[in-house]
Amino acid sequence: MTKQDIRTAFIEELVAIAPDIDPATLGENDHLQDDLELDSMDVLNLVTALHRRLNVDIPETDYPQIATLARAVSYLTARVA
Amino acid sequence: MGSFAMPSLGADMEAGTLVEWLVKPGDEVHRGDVIAVVETQKGAIEIECFEDGKVFELQADLGATLPVGAPLALILGPGETEPESKEPEAPAVAAKPEAVPAPATAGNPEAAPGHFVPDKPEATPRPAVAGEAKAAPGPAVAAPLPGGATAASPAARVRARELGIDLATVTGSGPAGAVLLTDLEVRNTAAARAQTASPMVDMRKAIAAAMARSKQTIPHFYLSETIDVQPALAWMDARNADRAPSDRLLLGALFVRATALAAAKVPSVNGQFVDGSLRPSERVNAGVAVALRGGGLVAPALIDAGAMSVDETMAGMRDLVFRARAGRLRSSEMTEGTITISSHGETGAEAMAGVIFPPQVALVGLGAPKLRPWVVDGAVAPRTVVTLTLSVDHRASDGRQAARFIAEFQSHIASPETL
């Protein structure tokens, strides 16, 4: 799975949870909670969806590492490999 | 026999638009079955039946906006027979295309016990209910029309005029391609969504009405307590560590569970204030305030939260949040709440004194967790604390009961294994 695949997966799952987010304007460093206004239930649903899709278990202590698109892609790439 | 009416889905609701029927005449229905979908200011709500029986007649048109109390359907109870005045073999009825359910009719007394009168009865072409055949001179639906006009049902014809839709531009699904009411509604709903595109305006109006009514009629008082949630967080983190994400708990689930347990112990904060007095509830139906993306909120109830484990509470909340955002809540969830929990989540202010959701009598407001210096075993230590503010209806209870609720809540959060 390439970095691009992971990026696509993350964006798709994020938009499934928050359909008002426009992938075209999503910033690399937009913070899930501070900028995109996801709440804790949304974050948990995103983690659940990524677990299902990429088979990557993200423990709670690692949630900060998926808090932005840029961070999530590098974290998930390392975990999937 | 019961006339199934447009329910009130909240203190603020005056009318709703019927958007889907999930039953048809002849269907058996049971208490709790979803029989229709109504669009309200707070989104689409699945309407549940509250009795067992058999659907005799649908009395409202798809797309019709009807006031609370307007008849939607006639449901026969077990053993009941069809009302005599209804003669299914009446020609006018037989000619009625099935896709055009009878609209609520003012001239149909047994179906309108609430004396509901449509705004413009004369503008509503009534497929004849027996006894008023004279009101239905309607031509056979698929009959050729003068001047090469498009074939359409009478109801569709009137509705098209109201909506300013040219029938010739609509693809009919009726006999011989006749345009039926449902064909227009499909078109109209899409058009209305595109045109108004402001469900937020409606949502704000609904919130404004409910909150203004609450503050005008409910004498609120507030009690606050800052609670050390460190033991609960530690317990939850340990539990979540070896669980798949789909089985993990959130602090919010612990708060809802603690509320359900505490409310069960303090009946004067759990119930609804109706007709001048508190009706305490045996069950705890925990309303969960759900913020909607883009603004606004709804507070559907987790029915019988008192009987749930903490994991069931979490699963129930996930389901409620999902359906609240997808716009598929049920009528019972909108009307049967007995106490509401409004939690700020992980980020936000440290305390919130909320407005009670009428006709309930209490609301649990929870601020965001904050790291604060705290005295633990005689020494100051950094601890994660949450401030609970209980808003209470003074007509229903006093400070003593409110304090007892908070003490119960706190003891469960301090000993999370009791949740």
Q: For residue range B345-378, what is the model confidence (pLDDT) as tens digits?
A: 888 899 999 999 999 999 999 999 999 999 999 9
Cα B212 to Cα B150: distance, rounded to the nearest angstrom: 49
Bridge-based pairing of strands B379-393 and B220-228 is antiparallel
Determine contact: A44 vs chain B, CB below 8 A: yes
pLDDT at B109 over 60: no
Average pLDDT, chain B: 82
* Predicted local confidence at residue B111, as pLDDT: 40
Confidence of residue B91 (pLDDT cuts 50, 70, 90): very low
- Cβ atoms of residues B24 and B55 within 8 Å: yes
Q: What is the DSSP code string of B216-240?
A: HH--EEEEEEEEE-HHHHHHHHHHH
Rounded to an integer, the average pLDDT of B313-342 is: 93
Alpha-carbon span B363 to B356, nearest angstrom: 5
Counting one residue from A and one from B, how many pairs have CB atoms under 8 Å apart?
A: 43
State phi, psi for B57 to the nearest 5 degrees: -155, 140
Q: How many CA atoms lie within 13 A of B345 on its CB side?
A: 16
Would you place residue B243 in the very low, low, confident or very high pLDDT band (cuts 50, 70, 90)? very high
Is B293 close to A20, i.e. CB distance below 8 A?
yes
Cβ pair B347:A59 closer than 8 A: no
Q: What pLDDT, in 10s, does the model give residues B19-77?
A: 999 999 999 999 889 999 998 887 889 999 888 899 999 998 899 899 898 999 999 88
Instruction: Decide the pairing of beta strands B43-48 and B34-40.
Output: antiparallel
Element of type H or E holding B15 = strand B15-21
Closest residue to B244, CB basis, from A37, A41, A51: A51
Interchain contact A59–B (C-beta under 8 A)? yes
| Position B310 confidence tier, pLDDT thresholds 50, 70, 90 | very high
Distance CA B365, CA B353 (A): 6
Residues in chain B closer than 8 A to A33 (CB atoms): 346-347
Alpha-carbon gap, residue B358 to B334, rounded angstroms = 11
Complex ipTM > 0.85: yes
pLDDT of residue B379: 97
Q: What is the pLDDT of residue B297?
A: 87
Peptide bond into B359 cis (omega under 30): yes
| pLDDT tens-digit readout, A44-80 | 999 999 999 999 989 999 999 999 999 999 999 998 8
Q: Where in chain A are the domains?
A: 3-80
> Would you call B14 an interface residue with chain A, using a CB distance cutoff of 8 Å?
no
Pick from A20, A34, A39 the residue to mutate for testing the B interface (most B CBs within 10 Å).
A39
Q: How far apart are CA B121 and CA B85, in angstroms?
A: 21
Per-residue pLDDT for B315 more than 80?
Answer: yes
Tell me what pLDDT residue B181 has: 77
Interface of A with B in 10-29 (CB under 8 A): 18-20
Handedness of CA B268, B269, B274, B279 (dihedral sign): negative
Q: Which two tokens stand for residue B413?
A: 């959060």
Which residues of chain B are within 8 Å of residue A34 when distances are taken between CB atoms? 347
A54 touches chain B (CB under 8 A): no
Residue B327: pLDDT above 70?
yes
**Domains defined for chain B, CATH in brackets:** 2-138 (2.40.50.100), 215-418 (3.30.559.10)
Residues B325-348, mean pLDDT to the nearest whole number: 90
Q: Is the pLDDT of residue B154 over 90?
A: no
Nearest CA to A18 out of A51, A53, A49, A42 is that of A42
B287 contact A CB<8A: no
Range of weakest confidence among B102-106, B160-164, B169-173, B352-356:
B102-106
Range name among B92-106, B176-190, B212-226 with the lowest pLDDT average: B92-106
List Cα–Cα distances, B73 to B110, B274, B397, in angstroms.
Answer: 12, 26, 40
Largest separation between any pair of C-alpha atoms in chain A:
31
From A63, which residue of chain B is nearest by alpha-carbon distance?
B245
CB contact under 8 A, B345 and A44: no
Q: What CATH class has A3-80?
A: mainly alpha
Q: Do B281 and B271 form a contact (C-beta atoms < 8 A)? A: yes
